[in-house]
Amino acid sequence: MKAYLAMVRVSMRQLLGRKWVILIGLVALLPSVVMVVQTRVSAQGRLAAEFTQGPLLTLFFFVLPLTSILLGSLVLGEERRDGTLSFLVLRPRRREVITGAKLTAAWLAAWAISGLSGLLPAVILGFSANVWRMVLPVIVATGLSTLAYVGVFMAIGYLTRWAVLIGAGFLFFWETGIAFAADSLANISLFRIGLTAFAGMVSQAPALLDDAMGSLQPGAGGAIAKCLVIAAVSVGSISLLMRRRDLT
């Protein structure tokens, strides 16, 4: 456990200690900026509905995927390419412990940024309209979607240096394009996992969320199960690859 926590701690420092994280942090303020604008232009009674449009969709369509894809892709991929992965592999630790710690680190780092990005507008909503019921769902939902993205892109990042580009293509062409146009493809979308959890936890989810979710049904239980499966498959497959393939 001590080794696992040490790996998580060092990996988080590695991920969050970069200069461009400041840029990501600024981008993560976008939902809050949108929420502030809405408090100025919308009636107080409409602010809860407005929250699930501008700020929430900015968060789930853009900020969260971008952050999670970047951090997930780098967490193992960069170590492999820099040669530091051998430092971890040459220790008396199972590969699953190493990849599990890496997944945890990237998830916590991505969740910290995305969670705050969602929490701030929810708090602004709370103070502006005395509506606090968005706070917990937005934290849970961002936690789930970041886990899904990080799980998938940690594996892709381990295999190829083009993971971030692949992630951008997946986000902008598939998730916000094709999967939006064809409801039945919404299943293969990672931010929608979080949205279904959010919709399942918030009573009276607005119609716009239904459009964004496509054919998916609201519910936190299914979303949690999906994310856990993605995380387990990611850790299992990368550990297997580490055992079977050369570490060059």
Partner 1 sequence: MTSGPARVTGATVEVDKVSKWFGQKVAVSDITCSFGTGITGLLGPNGAGKTTLLRMVTGLLAPSDGTIRVLDKDPRRHPGVYRDLALVPEEDAVYGFLTGREYVEYAAVLAGAPISSAADAIATVELEDAQHRPITGYSKGMRQRAKVAAALVSEPKVLVLDEPLNGTDPVQRAHLIAVFRDLAARGHTVIVSSHVLAEVERMADRVLAVVDGKLAAAGDVAAIRGAMSDIPYRVRIDTDLPRELAAALMSLDGIAGVAFEKGTLMVETTDLPGLGSSLPSLARSLDARVTQFEPEDESLESVFRYLVRRT
* Residue ranges in 107-166 that form contacts with partner 1 under rule CB under 8 A: none
Cβ proximity to partner 1, 46 vs 94, nearer residue: 94
Q: Rule CB under 8 A: is residue 183 a binding residue for partner 1?
A: no
Name the phi and psi angles at 190, rounded to 5. -85, -35
Q: Rule CB under 8 A: is residue 240 a binding residue for partner 1?
A: no
- Single out the residue of 123, 111, 134, 129 nearest to residue 202, CA to CA: 134
Q: Rule CB under 8 A: is residue 233 a binding residue for partner 1?
A: no
**CB 114 to partner 1: min, Å:** 23
- Residue from 10, 23, 165, 233 that binds partner 1 (CB under 8 A)? 10
Q: Rule CB under 8 A: is residue 182 a binding residue for partner 1?
A: no
Instruction: Report d(CA 110, CA 114) in Å as an integer.
Output: 6
Query: What string marks each residue from 84 to 113 as x (binds partner 1 by CB under 8 A) or -?
Result: x-xxxxxxxxxx------------------
- Residue from 23, 44, 46, 83 that binds partner 1 (CB under 8 A)? 83
Kindly list the residues in this chain that would bind partner 1 in the complex (CB under 8 A): 2-3, 6-7, 10, 13-14, 17, 82-84, 86-95, 243-244, 246-248
